[in-house]
Structure formats: C-alpha cells, structure tokens
C-alpha cells in the first residue's frame, strides 16, 4: 500500500471521529470507501513468462487501482531486467524459496499467479496463507478437486480469490452476455464456440507435459469456448459428450490435440464446442429465434470483432487485463465480491473434468 494515502485516510478518520462529524456504522464505511478509492494496491506477479511479461506488466502501466509492486522469479537475470524496466525495489523481489516471507511486505496486497497450471494450487494457497489476496491464471488448477482446495484455503485465510478471466471485462463479451441472457434477439436456438491455434512452439514446453499442464488445448484454449457457452446462456451445463482427434501423436504424446464436445443444458439444449492445438479457431456463434449474434475473432487480446443480425457491433477494443486487474483491486478496496471468483474457475474445471471422463468412457458424462 502507498503510505501517503494510508496516512491521509487515518488522519481523516481521526479528524472526523474526533470532530463528531460521523456516526459509526454505514456512514463510516462509505466514507472509508471514498478515501480508499484514491490508493493503488500493490500487485506481485509470480512467474515472469510470456503472459506476465507480454501482457500483465504492460497492462499494469495503465491501471488506476493497482500497480506492479513486486515480482517472484526463479531466474536472477529476470529479476535484474524487470527491476530496471519497472522500477521494482530489491525488497519487493522474491524467489520461490523465500516467497512466503512476502507476508511481511506491506507493499504487496495482491499476488498474481502466472505459472504453469500444476503450480497454481500451491502458490495460490501459499499467497493466501501469507495474507495476500490472489488472482490465479486460467485454467485454475489441474482438476476440480484442487480448485475446491484453493477456494477453501482463501476463505480460511479470509482473502479474496479471483481467476484471470479477462473476457468478463471485455465489452463484446459483456454484450454477448446481455444478448444471450436477456434474449434480446429471442431465445438462443443454436450455439457453437471454438478456440484453438496451430501449435508451433517448443515441443518440450510445459504446455505439452500432462503433469504440468493437466491437459492440452482443452485446458488452455477450450476453457474460453466452454465459458462462452455458459455466459451466453447464463446457465450451468448438466452433462457432456466428447470425442477427440490426434493427427500429430508425436508432438501431442501426453496431451489432447483437438476435442469436440456437446454440452447439454436444461431443456435438452446442446451447445457445440471444440478446442485445438492444430486449428486456428476463435469464434462464438449464436442463432436465436429472431436473428443471430457472433464474435470472431472472439477470445484473444489482439482485437475482438462482432456482429448481430442487425449489423456490426461497432464496439471498441479495450485493455482487457488492465480492466480485469483494476476491477479486482477495486473489489478488494471496497470489500465487494469479484465477478470472476474461484467458484467461476471451479465451474469450468467441472466441465473440463467431465469432458476428459467422457473421452475415457465414450459416453455422455454428468457434470458436477
């Protein structure tokens, strides 16, 4: 926390209580909210890979409610370059061994876990135990059981937990939620969501190792398509049937390449979805009783576009990550629930677990 705002808050609180200007209770807390709003919370990024370096740190140069206060890295060289580039003091730089001592650092309010999936649970729980609020990247964990442990640990530590679901702050997606859930163009009759890219990266990367990633394109990319179906309809799916294709078994030895699924919602409604590390897909398409709406490209941060049966959406693109982190900081400051809590990550993991079960059984599997 930045000291000047904190001391100004204490000063004003003492002043107003001393002067008898405020009655205790609701007026004090709303007064607190007003005063807290001009203070930025400190975020520490854990894991300085592509997403932290390419998106989150740059976004933190544009945030109003939070700032890049610290880093956690196992690479001393990265500590040096990040410290110089973002003006991070030595006292706010941690490695994986001394990470828990972040508990004693008042500059860090929020820990943002941007590590391989298998490490999300451990670092989320350690951060919460260190008294920090947590943002954890997607997919939340290796499976739903781990998600539950993370939620429980944060509750026990009385810390807020959020998942890095940037699209909940993206105006095209907010519009899709409105169109679908409020049935603006009539009831959704058909829904298809797809997300994937042709993997051309390192064949030894953590994303292709099951123990580190939990799975392949479904965990990494399909999660957006699953979530797109859930928030277009505003409902939770009941069951799922899935099948997979593998054209590059040498590359995708341990993880899934392409998966197709049929997600059943109440009223026998089936949403179709697919994920891939071997196809450039990125869309959400809904046919409704009176027209259609769709996004394509739908899920990236390089520009989202959409149209409806009435014409182009004409919605500007935004800095998704800056809005996402600012919103969480504001929730922490004002003690309000985040729209993307751990429970939201758990809901997607329950679907993903059921898709993997369906691949094994060859049958439709219940979600839950």
Radius of gyration of the CA atoms of the chain, in A: 22
Comparing every residue's Cβ against ligand NAD, the nearest one is: 49
Distant-in-sequence, close-in-space partners of 85: CB < 8 Å, separation ≥ 6 = none
DSSP string spanning 49-74? SHHIIIIIHHHTTS-SSEEEEEEE-S
Query: Which of 5, 6, 31, 51 lies at the binding interface for ligand NAD (CB under 6 A)?
Result: 51
Q: Which member of 138, 241, 285, 350 is catalytic? A: 138
Query: Which of 1, 8, 22, 49 lies at the binding interface for ligand NAD (CB under 6 A)?
Result: 49
Residue 105 CB, shortest distance to ligand NAD, in Å, is 20
Q: Which stretch binds ligand NAD (CB under 6 A): 26-34, 48-56, 102-110, 336-344?
A: 48-56
Kindly state whether residue 327 participates in binding ligand NAD, applying the rule CB under 6 A: no
Query: Which of 121, 126, 133, 138 lies at the binding interface for ligand NAD (CB under 6 A)?
Result: 138
Strand order in the sheet with 306-308: 311-312, 306-308, 291-295, 278-288, 188-198, 269-276, 258-265, 239-245, 365-366
Residue 305 CB, shortest distance to ligand NAD, in Å, is 17
User: Residue 62 and residue 321: Cα distance in Å, rounded?
Assistant: 10
Q: Which member of 94, 112, 165, 224 is catalytic? A: 224
Is residue 117 classed as helix, strand or coil in its secondary structure? helix
| 224 tagged catalytic | yes
Q: Which stretch binds ligand NAD (CB under 6 A): 46-54, 59-67, 80-88, 153-161?
A: 46-54
Contact between 246 and 368 (Cβ < 8 Å): no
Taking CB atoms within 8 Å and a gap of at least 24, the contacts of 312-319 are: 313/172, 313/175, 315/171, 315/172, 315/175, 316/171, 318/169, 318/170, 318/171, 319/59, 319/62
Count Cβ atoms within 10 A of the Cβ of residue 186 and give its class: 0-12 exposed, 13-18 middle, 19 or more buried. middle
State which residue, 59 or 239, has the beta carbon closest to ligand NAD: 59
| 138 tagged catalytic | yes
Query: Which of 35, 117, 141, 359 lies at the binding interface for ligand NAD (CB under 6 A)?
Result: 117
Q: For the segment 156-185, give every residue that binds ligand NAD (CB under 6 A).
A: 164, 166
The first and second tokens of residue 98, run together, are 């001394």
Residue 91 CB, shortest distance to ligand NAD, in Å, is 21
**What mask, x for binding ligand NAD by CB under 6 A, covers residues 200 to 239?**
------x-----x-------x-------------------
Query: Which neighbouring-strand residues pair with 201?
Result: none
Catalytic residues: 138, 224
Q: Which residues bind ligand NAD (CB under 6 A)?
A: 47-52, 74, 114-117, 137-138, 164, 166, 206, 212, 220
């Amino acid at each position: 926390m930045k000291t000047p705002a904190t001391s100004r808050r204490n000063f004003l609180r003492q002043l107003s209580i001393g002067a008898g200007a405020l009655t205790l209770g609701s007026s004090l807390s709303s007064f607190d909210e007003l005063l807290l709003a001009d203070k930025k919370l400190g975020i520490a990024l854990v894991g300085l890979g592509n997403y932290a370096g390419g998106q989150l740190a740059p976004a933190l140069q544009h945030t109003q409610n939070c700032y890049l206060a610290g880093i956690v890295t196992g690479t001393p060289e990265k500590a040096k370059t990040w410290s110089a580039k973002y003006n991070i003091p030595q006292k706010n730089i941690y490695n994986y061994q001394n990470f828990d001592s972040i508990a004693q650092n008042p500059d860090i309010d929020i820990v943002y876990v941007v590590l391989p999936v298998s490490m999300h649970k451990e670092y989320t729980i350690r951060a919460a135990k260190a008294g920090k609020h947590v943002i954890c990247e997607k997919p939340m964990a290796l499976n739903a059981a781990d998600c539950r442990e993370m939620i429980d640990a944060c509750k026990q530590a009385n810390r807020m937990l959020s998942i890095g679901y940037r699209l909940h702050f993206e105006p095209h997606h907010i519009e899709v939620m409105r169109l679908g859930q409020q049935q603006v163009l009539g009831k959704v009759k058909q829904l298809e969501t797809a997300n994937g890219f042709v993997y051309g990266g390192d064949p030894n990367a953590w994303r292709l190792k099951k123990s580190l990633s939990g799975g392949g394109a479904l965990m990494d990319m399909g999660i957006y398509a699953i979530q797109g179906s859930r928030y277009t309809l505003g409902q939770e799916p009941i069951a799922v049937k899935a099948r997979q294709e593998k054209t590059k078994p040498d590359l995708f030895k341990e993880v899934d390449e392409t998966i197709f699924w049929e997600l059943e919602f109440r009223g026998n409604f089936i949403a179709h979805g697919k994920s891939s590390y071997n196809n450039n897909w990125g869309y959400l398409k809904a046919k409704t009783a009176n027209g259609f709406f769709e996004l394509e490209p739908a899920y990236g941060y390089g520009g989202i576009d959409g149209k409806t049966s009435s014409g182009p959406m004409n919605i500007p693109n935004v800095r998704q990550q800056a809005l996402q982190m600012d919103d969480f900081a504001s929730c922490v400051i004002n003690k309000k629930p985040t729209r993307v809590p751990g429970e939201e990550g758990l809901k997607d993991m329950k679907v993903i677990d059921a898709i993997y079960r369906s691949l094994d059984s060859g049958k439709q599997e219940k979600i839950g």
